[in-house]
């Protein structure tokens, strides 16, 4: 049994989700209003056609055979029906034009929010789940703005129009037509709870499927190498089966609810029909009015049921909006120190940049262990320093602090030009170039990958960067040279080649601080030596900060900081 107050919390949550959604509705209020107006006009044409049919039938069976009334009524029926076709076409076109624009804006906003969110917060979500929110949830929300919300107004207009017509011709009919109302209202709380439950479960399972599929596709070579394809196929089928179970449970619930609604609707329809026959038998109404009753009473019942049927849509939309809200309300980077960073960048010309940390303590959120404890270091222009230590002891965390991806719990990390300092943040990444672990190239050509960090770079600039990274030796031999397609995650190249392309990309950025995370782990000793010598010679003022497990790299370092088990740093060279 649901605990007291849970219903209130559920409806409160849905209310906040719809409140968030309405900001987009207000942004496109003119388009939504036009959509509503066209929809209501179409409803009016439909109801008008029904009323005109009543007068047409009465005129036809009238012994006087008023040809003028027959012609006018017939013309109205046909004219309104044809006009309704054009109205429906206009509604469809408007929905497509405006809907795609809204969809693009929402997806753009979500993507921008994800990209600019603080690294540690957004890193909690799997990329497949984020894509599901970006695509699936965004589509649901955007469709609601131009489809669902206007349909609320049009169905209300249809219900009111039918109600007014029935009241005008026979008020008693309204009682029969709305017999289903008490049942619908009484069951609304339970149906809302169940639909909310199934909607959340369905979206979460779909996110898991996308995440699992994306991750396995990205690591397909590893799966094949370890002969894990059958296992992953089996696991994927299990996920699909879980999703199928959720959908079947929801379908079973929907079928039971539909049967109940259909039975009630059938009772209502036959009651209205019987009342109409009885009134016709009494000569209280005409055949035309009887026909109108059959049309309008059915429309009245249908429009009321349609209003109730909006509940599942509203719940699904609220669920999608809530999932989007969850990521769009994360704290974001705002480049607060941008002006100051640009100022120091100018002053750093010919001087270089010093990177330092003073008594930094850091631990990840929801983690028991302190990764860094009162850690201090300094790296001056022209120097190369290294962080060494066992895996998982904080080397990569130090680089994340330098790159402003995370902030110290205590202490400070700064960049300075002579005696002017700036606290490290997202703004100071302008000082840095980065070579991460693993394959981090993007789909496209070698040139396109390098120009990501310097869009104005010439082919000559790219060639020079590749030479410094000792990559020109193999790139120059490719049939397409720098225009060779890398492929997703560098599938067309070896790990060592990809590392050298990544280093060339970092060189092309021409930053004052070069941060390298195990950047030469796939290189042989000779190539590694060439790369490091080239890096030092290419810019004597460049500050290099590296992490490594390879002792051969340490001979090129001015200082080596060893990370101890308690998270402190100790200079070993």
Provide the phi-psi class of 493: left if phi over 0, else alpha when psi is between -120 and 50, else beta.
beta
| Same structural domain, 266 and 139 | yes
Residue 35 lies in a domain: yes
Residue 526 lies in a domain: yes
Q: What is the pLDDT of residues 354-384, one digit of tens each?
A: 999 999 998 887 767 788 889 899 999 999 9
Single out the residue in 270, 302, 328 at which a domain terminates.
Answer: 328
- The predicted pLDDT at position 229 comes to 78
- Residue 326, SS3 per DSSP: helix
With a cut of 90, say whether residue 31 has pLDDT above it. Answer: no
Mean pLDDT of 174-179: 69
Closest listed residue to residue 192, CA positions, set 12, 11, 15: 11
Q: Give the C-alpha distances (Å, rounded to integers) separating 476 from 60, 458, 471, 525, 528.
A: 89, 16, 9, 22, 19
Long-range own/partner contacts, residues 507-511 (CB < 8 A, 24 or more apart): 507/433, 507/465, 507/468, 507/469, 507/535, 507/538, 508/450, 508/451, 508/453, 508/454, 508/457, 508/461, 508/462, 508/465, 509/433, 509/453, 509/454, 510/433, 510/454, 510/539, 511/430, 511/431, 511/432, 511/433
Element (H, E) at 571: strand 569-571
Residue 7 lies in a domain: no
Residue 284 lies in a domain: yes
Residue 217 lies in a domain: yes
Question: Which two three-digit tokens encode residue 281?
Answer: 């038998």
CATH code, domain with 292: 1.20.1560.10
| Same structural domain, 382 and 320 | no
Closest listed residue to residue 41, CA positions, set 150, 168, 169, 164: 150
Distance separating alpha carbons of residues 491 and 475, to the nearest angstrom: 15
| Same structural domain, 297 and 234 | yes
213: containing domain: 14-328
CATH code, domain with 429: 3.40.50.300
Question: Which two three-digit tokens encode residue 560?
Answer: 């080596």
- The predicted pLDDT at position 179 comes to 67
* Range among 194-208, 433-447, 460-474 rated most confident: 460-474
Residue 249 lies in a domain: yes
- The predicted pLDDT at position 222 comes to 61
Single out the residue in 281, 309, 328 at which a domain terminates.
Answer: 328
| Same structural domain, 275 and 421 | no
Dihedral sign, CA of 19, 20, 21, 22?
A: positive
| Same structural domain, 73 and 205 | yes
- The predicted pLDDT at position 458 comes to 93
Which of residues 487 and 402 earns the better pLDDT score?
402
Closest listed residue to residue 570, CA positions, set 359, 358, 356, 376: 376
Dihedral sign, CA of 242, 244, 246, 252?
A: negative
With a cut of 70, say whether residue 78 has pLDDT above it. Answer: yes
| Same structural domain, 415 and 445 | yes
| Same structural domain, 252 and 115 | yes
Residue 115 lies in a domain: yes
* Range among 216-220, 314-318, 546-550 rated most confident: 546-550
- The predicted pLDDT at position 416 comes to 92
With a cut of 80, say whether residue 425 has pLDDT above it. Answer: yes
Closest listed residue to residue 197, CA positions, set 21, 14, 326, 15: 14
Residue 259 lies in a domain: yes
| Same structural domain, 456 and 399 | yes
| Same structural domain, 30 and 168 | yes
* Range among 81-90, 438-447, 496-505 rated most confident: 496-505
Single out the residue in 328, 346, 371 at which a domain terminates.
Answer: 328
Share of the chain above pLDDT 90, in %: 16
- The predicted pLDDT at position 472 comes to 92
- The predicted pLDDT at position 264 comes to 72
Are the CB atoms for 335 and 427 separated by under 8 Å?
yes
- The predicted pLDDT at position 542 comes to 92
Distance separating alpha carbons of residues 272 and 172, to the nearest angstrom: 10
With a cut of 50, say whether residue 1 has pLDDT above it. Answer: no
| Same structural domain, 468 and 523 | yes
- The predicted pLDDT at position 177 comes to 65
Mean pLDDT of 106-129: 83
Q: What's the whole-number average pLDDT of the chain?
A: 82
| Same structural domain, 342 and 307 | no
- pLDDT confidence band for 148 (50 / 70 / 90): confident
Number of domains the chain contains: 2
Are the CB atoms for 513 and 415 separated by under 8 Å?
yes
Are the CB atoms for 552 and 388 separated by under 8 Å?
no
Closest listed residue to residue 530, CA positions, set 553, 550, 507: 553
Distance separating alpha carbons of residues 207 and 144, to the nearest angstrom: 21
| Same structural domain, 220 and 141 | yes
DSSP string, 287-312: HHHHHHHHHHHHHHHHHHHHHHHHHH
Mean pLDDT of 386-402: 86
């Amino acid at each position: 049994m649901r605990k007291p107050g849970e219903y209130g919390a559920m409806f409160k949550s849905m209310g906040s989700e719809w409140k968030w959604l309405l900001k987009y509705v207000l942004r496109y209020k003119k388009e939504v209003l036009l959509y509503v107006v066209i929809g209501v006009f179409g409803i009016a044409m439909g109801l008008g056609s029904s009323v005109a049919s009543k007068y047409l039938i009465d005129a036809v069976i009238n012994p006087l055979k008023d040809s003028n009334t027959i012609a006018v009524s017939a013309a109205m029926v046909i004219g309104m029906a044809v006009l309704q076709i054009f109205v429906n076409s206009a509604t469809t076109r408007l929905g497509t034009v405006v809907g795609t624009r809204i969809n693009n804006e929402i997806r753009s906003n979500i993507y921008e929010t994800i990209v600019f969110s603080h690294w540690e917060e957004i890193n909690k979500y799997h990329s497949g789940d984020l894509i599901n929110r970006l695509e699936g949830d965004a589509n649901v929300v955007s469709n609601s703005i131009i489809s669902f919300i206007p349909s609320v107004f049009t169905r209300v207009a249809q219900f009111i129009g039918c109600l007014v017509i029935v009241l005008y011709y026979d008020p008693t009919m309204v009682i029969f037509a709305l017999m289903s109302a008490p049942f619908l209202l009484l069951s609304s709380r339970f149906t809302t709870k169940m639909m909310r439950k199934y909607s959340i479960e369905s979206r979460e399972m779909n996110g898991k499927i996308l995440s699992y599929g994306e991750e396995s596709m990205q690591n397909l070579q590893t799966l094949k190498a370890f002969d894990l394809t059958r296992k992953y196929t089996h696991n994927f089928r299990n996920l699909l089966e879980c999703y199928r179970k959720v959908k079947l449970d929801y379908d079973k619930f929907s079928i039971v609810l539909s049967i109940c609604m259909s039975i009630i609707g059938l009772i209502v329809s036959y009651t209205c029909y019987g009342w109409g026959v009885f009134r016709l038998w009494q000569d209280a109404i005409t055949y035309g009015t009887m026909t109108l009753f059959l049309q309008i009473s059915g429309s009245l019942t249908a429009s009321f049921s349609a209003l109730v049927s909006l509940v599942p849509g509203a719940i699904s939309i609220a669920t999608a909006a809530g999932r989007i809200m969850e990521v769009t309300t994360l704290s974001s980077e705002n480049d607060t120190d941008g002006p100051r960073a640009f100022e120091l960048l100018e002053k750093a010309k010919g001087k270089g940049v010093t990177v330092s940390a003073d008594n930094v303590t850091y631990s990840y959120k929801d983690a028991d262990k302190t990764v860094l404890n009162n850690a201090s270091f300094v790296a001056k222009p022209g120097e190369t320093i290294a962080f060494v230590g066992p895996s998982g002891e904080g080397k990569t965390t130090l680089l994340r602090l330098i790159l402003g991806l995370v902030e110290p719990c205590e202490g400070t990390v700064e960049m300075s030009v002579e005696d002017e300092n700036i606290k490290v943040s997202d703004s100071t990444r302008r000082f840095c170039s980065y070579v991460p672990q693993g394959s981090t190239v993007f789909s496209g050509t070698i040139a396109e990958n390098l120009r990501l960090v310097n869009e104005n770079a010439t082919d000559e600039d790219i060639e020079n960067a590749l030479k410094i990274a000792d990559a020109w030796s193999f790139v120059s031999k490719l049939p397409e040279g720098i225009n060779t397609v890398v492929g997703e995650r560098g599938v067309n190249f070896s790990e060592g080649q990809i590392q050298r392309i990544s280093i060339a990309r970092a060189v092309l950025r021409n930053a004052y601080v070069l941060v390298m995370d195990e950047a030469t782990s796939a290189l042989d000793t000779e190539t590694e030596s060439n790369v490091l010598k080239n890096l030092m010679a290419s810019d004597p003022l460049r500050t290099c900060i590296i992490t490594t497990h390879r002792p051969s790299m340490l001979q090129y370092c001015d200082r080596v900081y060893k990370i101890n088990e308690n998270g402190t740093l100790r200079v070993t060279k």
